[in-house]
Amino acid sequence: MRWIKIIRDKNNIIGRCIYDMMEYENNFAKILFRNAIMFLDAGVGFINKGFTTYRNMVQAIVNLQMAMELALKSSVVSYCGIRTVLNNKQSELSDLEIEELFNKNLLKIREYDDIKNYTKGKNHLYDFERKQYNYMEKFQKYRNCILHSSYIFTDEETKQMEKDIIYTLIHILGILISDETLIEERKYMQEYLNKHEYALLLKNPVYNTELNVFLNNEYGKLYMCPYCSTKTMTSDYKCARCFSVFADRHFFEYVRCGYCGEDMVICDAANIDNRDDHMVRGLCLNCKVDTIVYKCPKCGKFVNTELFGEDDCHGGFCQLFD
């Protein structure tokens, strides 16, 4: 199995990490990922309960940190191989020997700090800035103190905790868990959440605000989703909030808007041929201006009727065949 990690700086691809995985490595990465989702779901459940109690806050912190550690290990194994997370002695073993250790639950994994620092080096697996790594270290400190001794939260930390947890959820786990694949196969971190808990999370104004910040930073430009009517659809025609996809040109077509100039006027491409006038309504997902879209029955070209020119296809005339 081959994994390809696309390394981005905003919208620019600056490198790729390609690795051919052995089957046992694939299974190991999948188990880590599955467990990461389990802790992620639990953490979001405690976020949804609110931080009016100390228990909910601590459970959210610990579960999200566990999810973060497992997701990081799964991601690194997937992109660069299992040896990158094993201790020095085991990393020098043959594939057959490592697979045997895996099957016997005897793998010895490097410290979380070592793996985290590995992603900062020449491999630069993620487009994380110092701020993201600071949050990873902060939640690691919280988790370690809570589990191994104790941690006394300051009033300021408690007051800020919901924003810090939401930031970590979106800006760190959102990268570690979301796929960097083609639009038809891509899954956002949010899609792995329990549907009930995700529906509750969408009611959280802190989450929605931070999601928009994240999407603007990642994609630069967002558009209105035709399904949920929020400005959370990327230029790949997938909504990061409701996960609807509007990329299939059998069902949807896009023409240029006469008001804002963007090629984001969406129309119903599947049913336009059933109309005698070959026209349907179109809506610009950038500026929300509506219009009428015409499809030439001869050449199949879609045209915004507001932008008709003498040389454009229109009723009774085809640019190519008349």
Average pLDDT score over the chain: 89
The total of other beta-carbon atoms located within 10 Å of residue 311's CB is 8
Instruction: Give me the mean pLDDT over the 28-44 stretch.
Output: 96
Cα–Cα dist 232/235, whole Å: 10
Interval 253-307: pLDDT, tens:
999 999 999 999 999 999 898 888 899 999 999 999 999 999 998 888 899 998 8
Interval 117-161: pLDDT, tens:
888 866 667 888 899 999 999 999 999 999 999 899 999 999 999
**Residue owning tokens 């487009």:** 127
Instruction: Give me the mean pLDDT over the 94-100 stretch.
Output: 96
Interval 204-234: pLDDT, tens:
999 999 999 999 988 889 999 999 999 999 9
Ranked by mean pLDDT, the top range of 53-57, 119-123, 315-319 is 53-57
**Ordered strands of the 290-295 beta sheet:** 252-255, 265-268, 279-284, 290-295, 302-304
Contact 247, 184 (CB under 8 A): yes
